[in-house]
Structure formats: C-alpha cells, structure tokens
C-alpha cells in the first residue's frame, strides 16, 4: 500500500467519525425538539378542549338556572307544594320546558326529584324516552355529569341543581325541596371543536377521550374499538401524567400515541392524543438535506485530502526517491532544486549536502583502503599465531574438564554404590530390630538395647541420606517435584515428629501461625519437610531449657511462605555464622563432641531452600539463642494459589480434627499370597518374619529367573521384587512378567531411590518402589492396600459400666455450663456464649446427646456470624434478642437431657 493510500486511510476516520457523530447529534436534537413541540401542542390542545367542555356545561347550567328562576316555574312550584299533584304539575310545566328544548336542541329531558329522591316528573323532548338509572344519577350533589353507555361517541350529559321553594334572591329564607336535572345529548364534535380549522384543528391522526376516575370510557372520538374501560395499568399512567401536566406514550391498537390529560371537576379525565411522528416524517426535507450534506462531506473530504497530500508530499518524495536511486547507481553529479522553504525543502538541502559529502568520502576511502589492506595483512599474521596458541590451550582445558567431570561422576557413582551397599545390611538391621520390638519382651534391658540399635541404625541411615543429597546437590542432580500440597499436613507431620524430642528435654515446642495462611501451596512437600525437621531438630538439640517456637506467615505480594524457627539455645558467634552453611562445619570442636552430627544439615537445607525459590537467613547471639528464617516460593505465574485461606485460629481448629487419631478404628486382617524375590539371606529372613506376623501365605526366591518361573506356574496376589539380583535382575524379570500378560501388582525393592531410578522401575512395569532399608509400617500399608481384608471383631474400648460413670460425670459438668449460659444476659457476653457452645458441640455427641451438639453448633455459628459483621459498638440489642431466643431453646434441651438421665 502506497503512502498516499495510507495517509487517506489513517486520516479518513478523523473526518468521518466526527461528521457522523455531529449528524447523529443533530438528528437526536431535532427529534428531542420535535417531541417537546408535540408534547406542548398536546397540552395546549387538551387544555383547549377541557376549557371548551367547561364552557358548554356552563351554558347549560345558565339555561337550567334561567328556567328555575322564571316566574312561571316559581308559580308552579308553589302550586305543587300545596297539593303535591304531580300530573297537574307536569301538565303546567310542558310549556316552559318546550321553550327550553327549542332554545337548546341538544336537551332531551327535564327530571325533577323531591328531597326523598322520589321522581316528581320527567318531561321528554318529542316523547323520546331513554332508560335512565335514578339511583346512579342522584348519589351526589354534582352540578354536572357525563353518563357513559354503549355509544361512547354520543354519551349523555346531565346538569343537576337544587330546587328551591322561594325566590333565589331571598337567601335568608331559602328552602330546598328537591333537585332538577337537565339531560342532554350534545353534539360532541361541535362542542369540543373537533371540526374547526384553526390552530387547534382535529385530524384523523388525533383522538380524544373522557373517562371517569375509575377508567370507564365515557366519550371517545373516534371510538376505534376501545371498549368500555381502559386497562388499569395504562389508565394509572395517563392519570399520573395528567396530574403532573406531562405527556406520555401509549400503544393504542398497534399505533404509538402520545397523550396529554387534564382533570376536570376532579371527576373526569380529558385525554387528547395523536400518533407519534418521527423526525423524518415531521420534516423530510430537512432530514434529506442533512443526510446529503453528511454523504457529500464523506465523499469529498478523502478526495481533497488525497489531491493535496499527493501534491505537497508524495510528489516531492517521489522526486527525492528518484535522486536516491541515481546516487545508489554511482551518479554523484545530481542536485535537487528546493521547491519551497519548508520541511521538504530542508530535506532536499540535506540530500544535496549528503551527496557532496559522499564525493569527499569517496576520495578519502581510496586512501584509507590502501592503508587498511596493509594493516589487515599484518594483523592476520598475528591472529594466526594467536589462534594456534589458543587451540593448544583449549585442548588442555577440554582435557581438564573431562577429567573433572569423570572425577565428579566417579564420586557420585561411588556415593550411590556405597549408599546402596550400606542400605542393604541396614535393611536387615532395622527390619529385624523393629520386628523383635513388635514382639513381647520381658527383659527391659533387651528392649533398651534394641531401641539403641534401632536409633543408631536410623541415625546411620540419616547420615547416608545427607551424604547422598549433598552429592546430588553438588552434581546438580537433585530433583525437585513441585506439587500442590496441604500446608498444614506438612506442618502437622513436623509437629508430630518433634513433639516427643522436645518433651524429653522438657522444652516448650509449638507453632505460632500469623493469619491469613493458604490451606494449599505449590512446593515439594518432602524437601520442605526435610528443611523444617532439620532446623527444628537442631534447635531442640542445641537448647537445654526454654522454648523452640516455629512462626509461620505468608506474604501475598511476593507469593512467598516464611517460616521462622526461634530457640533459646547456645547461640553462635559472628565468626561461626559466616561459615555455618559450609559442608561439615559446626560451631566448634567441643560442640561437635557434645552434640554430634556431621554439619551437613544446614548446607543441605540452604541448598533445598534455594531450589524451592527462597533462602535461609540466620540471626544469632551467643547464649541467647538463634533464629533461622526460611522463605520458599508458595506459587508463581504457572502455579497460582487458588485455595481458600485460613483467616483465624478457629478455622484452623475446625480443619485440625482430621489430624486427630481415633482409637476406635477397627483393624482389618489381610489375606493373600505374596512372592518375595530377594537374594540377600538376611533380608529374606526379615520378610519371612514380617509376613509370618501378618499370617500371610508367601514364597521367597533368590533371583529374577526363579520369580518369573513361579509367577508363570502359580497364582500370587502381590510381588515384592528386588532390583539387583544374580542370574536375572528385577527390571528384566518385571518386563518378562508384563510381556506374559500378567497384571498382578509388582513393587520394586531397592536402595536406589533417586527419581531416575523410580522412573526406570515404573517404565519396566512396577506399580511402585519400596526403598531400603524397608520401613515396616510402609510395607504393611502397601500389603493392606493390595490384599483382601476382613473386619476383626474387637471388644469395645470402654465397657458399659465405665461409660455410665463417664456420662454421670459429664452431666454434672453440663449442669455447671447450664448455669453459666443462663447468666449471660447482655450482648457484650456473646463471645463467652460462643465459647460455651463450642465446648458443648465438641463433647455432647460423644455421650450420645446429638441434639445438643446440633443446637450448640447452630448457636455457635450464629454468634460467629454476628461477631464478624458487628460494628465498633458491638452486637445490637435486636441481634442479641435473636441469640437469646436460640439460647433459651438450648437451655430447655439441656434441662430436658439432665432430667431424663437423672430419672433413669
């Protein structure tokens, strides 16, 4: 796309959009003005018709008053009062009424009633009688009335006035004897000026209606099948618009109509409307002129822009481009004439200067080229000699690098092999020790000695693991597996493991949580647990009295979890702090002799913290204690923290119940047949002892070949396969088993538990890996998972007599809680009430009082909700009354439970 096209496309929206917006705003403004004019015209029309209606009835009122004030009518009234002869009264009244009928062609009848609402007489024009409802007409003392009917285009009208016995000029002696009504059928078209040609003319697009205050249509022109009554919703809108003196839009027979209304005599609603007109229909000429103006602007603006842009910019640029090509082809004799004194002229002048400079540069370049060729030749010879020396140096460095890598690999292989060789006898040592300790021993010295052997073996295993981890870290082979883990599961495991250690030294060991904390984080749970156990166990080891506190908090801005281990132990000097994170370093030789250890724990923990996206920071003072602060990444852009947060200690307490062990869980006996492939005789004996203690049927073979033969010939439910065996190893044997189509569970037994080793086992067909030394509890868990089980009938933990005694003790305690709950009478005691409900919720169900647990739980939740949403003034009295009602129900239930159990 050429430049001029781009300029037009980029500039066009800045012309078109304002033009369209202005056109749209003009149209909207015109529509608004037209609507206001229409509404004003409607209001004027309805006022005009309302005033016309009032004038008509005023003229009829004058005619009726003239009749009543005539001498003849007064004489007839006096005669009627004497003899009450209605027939004679009617006969004598015909002449005056005929004069009225002749003067007012729309009049139909004169009706006269006494004060008891009895009809005295009715005189009709030309004996034309129309049925009338007397009771309806005489309910009120209205001066005039419009009577609705089936013919809403020609309704009847009625003027009603009191009938007096004496002259109306003698006000002091006025005596009302009844009512006189004038019934008329007006020419509504003429009366309401519906056919005039002035400014208030009425066309076929207009409509006028008169309704009463209930929406009944009394008059409509044209009728247009409106019915007898307006819909309630539409009538209310029309009535409100009349009261507000505004106009509204209503859909009438599919047409949009604008109506304006006015209340007359506070009893009748006069509505005047016409079809809604758009701005296009109102002023077509103006609309088309506006549209054509906008279209012409849209068409002409790009053309003008294109022509001027081409003449002022594109043509000079094309001339400059042509000159540039000639210069590129080597023609430096070209010179551009400046067209005008503007930016384009400056650009032409700069181009001319550039061409003159190119001529000078060409001459200088010829001289420089000769000098450069000589220098290049000289430098090339020097570089060749330097490259020869560098090649020799690189070859020596590569040889040194290969030797270093080989040495590092040999070291890693040595550490891995020696670890495997040490783990194999440790399997038998730890396994036999655990198996013997699981039996009944009468000699306490033997138990003590075996525990010491087990402790030393586990310590040796920990040292091997530390050395192996350090080797992996140094060779960058330590794998980190980031997964979403339950944070409090990890912390609870650490707490459970170290509580016994701290209890032996009578130290206060506890966690201090700074809320809010995420319930789940993204990390390697095993490595995080390894860091915390290492730091906390060191704190316990180097602290003789005082406490070890583990503070935990979360920084949402950095998505990092912080754990601070604070002890009151021996502390460290600044010199020791500088080298404490180096391998095999402790505070000093005396500490190493007193407390033991290799000094690998901190360097491994520091390396693991860095791999987990954080670090370890140390603060310490001699004889006052140390503070180790661990930070790890709890989430990132790839792994976001989406779990709910624990906001309070009460929420943590609610989820902590899953960590509590239950002593009432029934053990399950397992049955099945197990094949063990193990070449070490001690380990064979260990597995036989474990499987015998579980009363399982098993077979033990010494190599993979025998294992494959047994599996092909016999049925087994589970296979424990050692990976390194003579004749045929575990990997090859497992592959052969899977190739034969046998899908029984196979677990690898190995001391090589690195991730690549575990992946190799799974690829061969193993279902999992059991590391050596074998953890007896882990092995039994795997056996229970894959072998069939049956419930063992155990005797109850608590007999009936003991349970009854405990229940009696609980009821006595419950009475005290009942008195305490009754004493809570003010909203400020809601926290105390919540605490007592929490106690009842946690204990009542254990004694079979589940209803109390449910009621206490509901009341506790209500208290929590009110406390969390309370303002600075606390819970309101109204909210406290709701709590008291629920508390009264709980009190009643407690009293019932106590009464029932005491009587029983």
Domains of the chain plus CATH, in order, are: 40-281 (3.30.450.220), 482-659 (3.30.565.10), 668-791 (3.40.50.2300), 800-903 (1.20.120)
What pLDDT does 588 receive?
46
Query: Crossing angle for the helix pair 343-437 and 444-474, nearest 10 degrees?
Result: 160
DSSP β-bridge partners for residue 645? 518
Distance CA 64, CA 232 (A): 36
| Complete edge-to-edge strand list for the sheet that includes strand 217-221 | 217-221, 206-212, 268-275, 255-264, 247-252
**DSSP-derived secondary structure letter, 871:** B
Radius of gyration of the chain (CA): 54
Tell me which residue has tokens 């009366």: 191
The per-residue pLDDT for 796 is 37
Q: Tell me the sheet residues that pair with 259.
A: 248, 273
**Dihedral angle, C-alpha 829, 830, 832, 835, nearest 10 °:** 180
Q: What is the Cα–Cα distance from 15 to 518, expressed in whole angstroms?
A: 56
Q: How far apart are CA 335 and CA 354, in angstroms?
A: 11
* Residue 693: closest CA among 785, 781, 791, 780: 780
**Which residue from 894, 859, 852, 895 is spatially nearest to 880, judged by alpha carbons?**
859
Instruction: Return d(Cα 532, Cα 559) in angstroms, integer.
Output: 19
Comparing CA positions, the residue from 699, 759, 709, 767 lying closest to residue 737 is: 709
| pLDDT tops 90 at residue 747 | yes
DSSP string of 437-460?
Answer: HTS----HHHHHHHHHHHHHHHHH
Contact 257, 274 (CB under 8 A): yes
CA dihedral 102→108→110→113, nearest 10 degrees, is 180
| DSSP letter (8 states) at residue 337 | P
Print burial letters for 4-40: b (CB count within 10 Å at least 16), e (below 16). beebbeeeeeebeeebeeebeeebeebeeebbeebbe
Dihedrals φ, ψ of 119, to 5°? -75, 120
Burial of 789 (0-12, 13-18, 19+ CB in 10 A): middle
Across 206-233, average pLDDT:
79
CB 42 within 8 A of CB 274: yes
pLDDT by residue (tens digit) across 552-578? 999 988 999 999 999 999 999 888 888
Token pair, residue 678, equals 């193990």
Q: Are 350 and 344 in contact (CB under 8 A)?
A: no
pLDDT(739) > 60? yes
User: Residue 269's pLDDT band (boundaries 50, 70, 90)?
Assistant: confident
170 has pLDDT over 60: no
Phi, psi torsion values for 253, nearest 5 degrees = 50, 40
Calpha distance 721→677 (Å, rounded)? 5
Question: Which residues share a beta bridge with 212?
Answer: 268
Query: What is the predicted pLDDT for the residue at 708?
Result: 94
The residue that leads in pLDDT, 309 or 77, is 77
CB 218 within 8 A of CB 138: no
pLDDT at position 408? 63
pLDDT at 593 over 70: no
Q: How far apart are CA 175 and CA 836, in angstroms?
A: 86
Backbone angles phi, psi at 147, to 5 degrees: -100, 120
Identify the residue whose tokens are 């724990």: 601
Parallel/antiparallel/unpaired status of strands 746-750 and 768-771:
parallel
Asked if 292 and 225 touch (Cβ cutoff 8 Å), the reply is no
pLDDT value, residue 22: 77
φ and ψ at residue 821, rounded to 5 degrees: -65, -40
Phi, psi angles (nearest 5°) of residue 91: -65, -45
In whole angstroms, give the CA distance from residue 402 to residue 395.
11
Residue 735, class by beta-carbon neighbours within 10 Å (0-12 exposed, 13-18 middle, 19+ buried)? Answer: middle
Calpha distance 523→484 (Å, rounded): 7
Q: What is the pLDDT of residue 428?
A: 63
Measured distance CA(439)–CA(432) in Å, rounded: 11
Could you give the 3-state DSSP secondary structure of residue 134? Answer: helix
Lowest mean pLDDT among 97-106, 222-231, 635-644, 748-757: 222-231
Strands 746-750 and 718-722: parallel
Report the largest interatomic distance among the alpha carbons of the chain, rounded to a whole angstrom.
159
Beta pairing partners, 699: 675
DSSP annotation string for 757-819? HHHHHHHHT-SEEEESSPPHHHHHHHHHHHSEEEE-----SS-HHHHHHHHHHHHHHHHHHHH
Lowest-pLDDT range of 120-129, 277-286, 304-313, 392-401: 277-286
- Where is pLDDT greater, at 694 or 302? 694
Q: What is the C-alpha to C-alpha distance for residues 340 and 634, in angstroms, rounded to an integer?
A: 68
Q: Which residue has the tokens 């990976």?
A: 723
For residue 285, the model assigns a pLDDT of 66
Looking at 714-748, list the stretches that DSSP marks H as alpha helix, in order from N- to C-terminal side: 730-739
Residue 218 has pLDDT above 90, yes or no: no
The per-residue pLDDT for 296 is 82
The enclosing H or E element of 517 equals: strand 517-518
Kindly state the average pLDDT of the residues 25-31.
Answer: 73
Cα separation, 79 vs 503, whole angstroms = 127
> Residue 211 burial by CB count (10 A; 0-12/13-18/19+): exposed, middle or buried?
buried
Tokens of 56: 């008509």
Mean pLDDT score across all residues of the chain: 79
Residue 124 β-bridge partners = 109
Per the CB < 8 A criterion, the answer to whether 94 and 107 are in contact is: no
CA 88 to chain centre: 92
pLDDT higher than threshold 80 for residue 446: no
Identify which of 823, 849, 850 has the alpha carbon closest to the alpha carbon of residue 836: 823
Residue with the bigger pLDDT between 274 and 413: it is 274
**Measured distance CA(744)–CA(526) in Å, rounded:** 29
**pLDDT tens digits, 599-628:** 677 888 888 899 899 999 999 999 999 999
Q: Could you tell me which of 893, 867, 868, 871 has the C-alpha nearest to residue 880?
A: 867
What SS3 class is residue 874?
strand
Query: Of the candidates 732, 718, 717, which has an alpha carbon nearest to the alpha carbon of residue 764?
Result: 732
pLDDT at 50 over 80: yes
b vs e for 819-842, b when ≥16 Cβ sit within 10 Å of the residue's Cβ? eebeebeebebbeebbebbbebbe
User: Which pTM does this prediction carry?
Assistant: 0.36
Tell me what pLDDT residue 615 has.
94
* pLDDT greater than 80 at residue 850: no
User: What's the pLDDT tens digit per position in 791-823?
Assistant: 434 333 344 565 576 677 778 888 888 888 999
3-state helix, strand, coil in the chain (%, to 5): 55, 20, 25
Which strands sit side by side in the sheet containing 768-771, from one edge to the other?
697-701, 673-677, 718-722, 746-750, 768-771
H or E element that contains 147: strand 144-147
Q: 636-686 pLDDT, tens per residue?
A: 777 788 778 888 888 887 766 544 443 333 445 788 999 999 988 877 887
Check whether the bond before 516 is cis (ω within 30° of 0): yes
State yes or no: pLDDT of 317 exceeds 70. Answer: yes
d(CA 288, CA 280): 8
Q: Rounded CA gap, 187 and 190, in Å?
A: 5
Mean pLDDT, residues 846-850 = 72
**Whether the Cβ atoms of residue 849 and residue 864 lie closer than 8 Å to each other:** no
């Amino acid at each position: 796309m050429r430049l001029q096209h781009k300029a037009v496309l980029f500039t066009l929206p800045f012309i078109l959009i304002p033009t369209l917006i202005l056109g749209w705003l003009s149209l909207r403004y015109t529509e608004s003005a037209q609507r206001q004019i229409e509404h004003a015209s409607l209001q004027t029309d309805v006022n005009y018709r309302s005033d016309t209606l009032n004038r008509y009835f005023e003229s009829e009122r004058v005619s009726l008053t003239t009749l009543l004030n005539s001498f003849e009518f007064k004489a007839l009234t006096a005669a009627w009062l004497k003899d009450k002869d209605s027939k004679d009264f009617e006969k004598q009244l015909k002449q005056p009424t005929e004069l009225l009928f002749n003067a007012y062609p729309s009049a139909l009848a004169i009706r006269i009633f006494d004060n008891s609402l009895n009809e005295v007489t009715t005189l009709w024009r030309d004996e034309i009688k129309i049925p009338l409802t007397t009771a309806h007409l005489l309910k009120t003392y209205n001066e005039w009335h419009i009577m609705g009917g089936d013919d809403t285009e020609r309704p009847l009208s009625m003027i009603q006035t009191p009938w007096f016995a004496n002259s109306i000029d003698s006000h002091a002696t006025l005596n009302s004897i009844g009512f006189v009504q004038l019934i008329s059928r007006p020419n509504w078209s003429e009366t309401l000026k519906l056919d005039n040609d002035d400014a208030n003319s009425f066309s076929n697009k207009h409509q006028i209606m008169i309704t009463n205050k209930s929406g009944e249509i009394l008059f409509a022109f044209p009728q247009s099948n409106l019915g007898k009554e307006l819909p309630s919703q539409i009538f209310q809108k029309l009535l409100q618009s009349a009261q507000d003196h505004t106009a509204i839009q209503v859909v009438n027979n599919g047409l949009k109509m604008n109506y304006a209304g006015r209340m007359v005599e506070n009893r009748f609603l006069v509505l005047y409307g016409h079809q809604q007109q758009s701005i296009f229909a109102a002023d077509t000429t103006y609309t088309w002129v506006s549209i054509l103006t906008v279209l012409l602007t849209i068409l002409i603006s790009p053309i003008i822009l294109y022509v001027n842009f081409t003449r002022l910019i594109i043509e000079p640029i094309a001339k400059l481009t042509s000159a540039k090509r000639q210069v590129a082809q080597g023609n430096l004799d070209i010179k551009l004439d400046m067209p005008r004194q503007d930016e384009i002229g400056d650009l032409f002048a700069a181009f001319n200067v550039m061409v003159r400079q190119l001529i000078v540069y060409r001459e200088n370049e010829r001289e420089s080229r000769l000098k450069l060729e000589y220098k290049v030749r000289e430098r090339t010879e020097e570089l060749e000699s330097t490259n020869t020396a560098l090649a020799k140096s690189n070859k020596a460095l590569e040889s040194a690098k290969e030797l270093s890598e080989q040495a590092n690999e040999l070291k890693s292989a040595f550490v891995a092999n020696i670890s495997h060789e040490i783990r194999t006898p440790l399997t038998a040592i730890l396994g036999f020790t655990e198996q013997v300790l699981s039996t009944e021993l009468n000699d306490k010295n033997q138990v003590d000695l075996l525990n010491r052997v087990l402790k030393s073996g586990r310590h040796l295993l920990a040292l091997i693991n530390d050395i192996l981890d350090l080797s992996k870290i140094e060779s960058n082979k330590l794998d980190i597996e980031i997964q979403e883990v339950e944070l409090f599961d990890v912390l609870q495991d650490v707490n459970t493991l170290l509580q016994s250690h701290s209890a032996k030294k009578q130290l206060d060991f506890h966690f201090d949580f700074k809320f809010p904390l995420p319930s789940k984080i993204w990390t390697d749970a095993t490595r995080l647990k390894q860091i915390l156990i290492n730091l906390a166990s060191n704190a316990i080891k180097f602290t003789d009295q005082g406490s070890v506190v583990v503070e935990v908090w979360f920084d949402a801005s950095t998505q990092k979890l912080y754990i601070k281990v604070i002890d009151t132990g021996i502390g460290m000097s600044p010199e020791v702090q500088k080298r404490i994170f180096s391998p095999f370093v402790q505070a000093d030789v005396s500490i190493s002799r007193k407390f033991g250890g290799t000094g690998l724990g901190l360097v491994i923990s520091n390396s693991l913290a860095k791999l987990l996206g954080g670090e370890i920071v140390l603060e310490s003072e001699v004889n006052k204690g140390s503070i180790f602060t661990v930070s790890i990444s709890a989430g990132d852009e790839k792994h976001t923290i989406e779990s709910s947060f624990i906001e309070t200690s009460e929420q943590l307490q609610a989820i902590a119940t899953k960590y509590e062990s239950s002593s009432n869980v029934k053990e399950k006996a397992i049955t099945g047949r197990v094949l063990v492939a193990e070449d070490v005789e001690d380990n064979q004996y260990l597995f036989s002892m474990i499987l015998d203690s579980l009363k399982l049927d098993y077979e033990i073979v010494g190599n993979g070949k025998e294992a494959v033969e047994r599996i092909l010939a016999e049925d087994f439910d589970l296979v424990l396969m050692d990976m390194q065996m003579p004749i045929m190893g575990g990997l090859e044997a497992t592959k052969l088993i899977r190739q034969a189509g046998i899908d029984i569970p196979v677990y690898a037994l190995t001391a090589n538990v690195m991730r690549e080793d575990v992946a190799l086992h799974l690829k061969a067909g193993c279902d999992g890996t059991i590391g050596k030394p074998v953890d007896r509890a882990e092995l039994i868990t795997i056996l229970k998972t894959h072998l069939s089980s049956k419930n063992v009938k155990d005797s109850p933990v608590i007999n009936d007599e003991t349970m009854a005694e405990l229940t009696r003790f609980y009821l006595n305690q419950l009475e005290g809680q009942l008195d305490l709950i009754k004493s809570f009478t003010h909203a400020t005691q809601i926290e105390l009430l919540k605490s007592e409900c929490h106690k009842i919720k946690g204990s009542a169900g254990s004694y079979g009082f589940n209803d109390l647990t449910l009621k206490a739980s509901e009341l506790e939740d209500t208290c929590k909700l009110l406390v969390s949403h309370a303002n600075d003034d606390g819970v309101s009295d109204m909210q406290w009354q709701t709590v008291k009602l629920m508390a009264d129900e709980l009190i009643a239930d407690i009293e019932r439970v106590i009464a029932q159990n005491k009587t029983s």
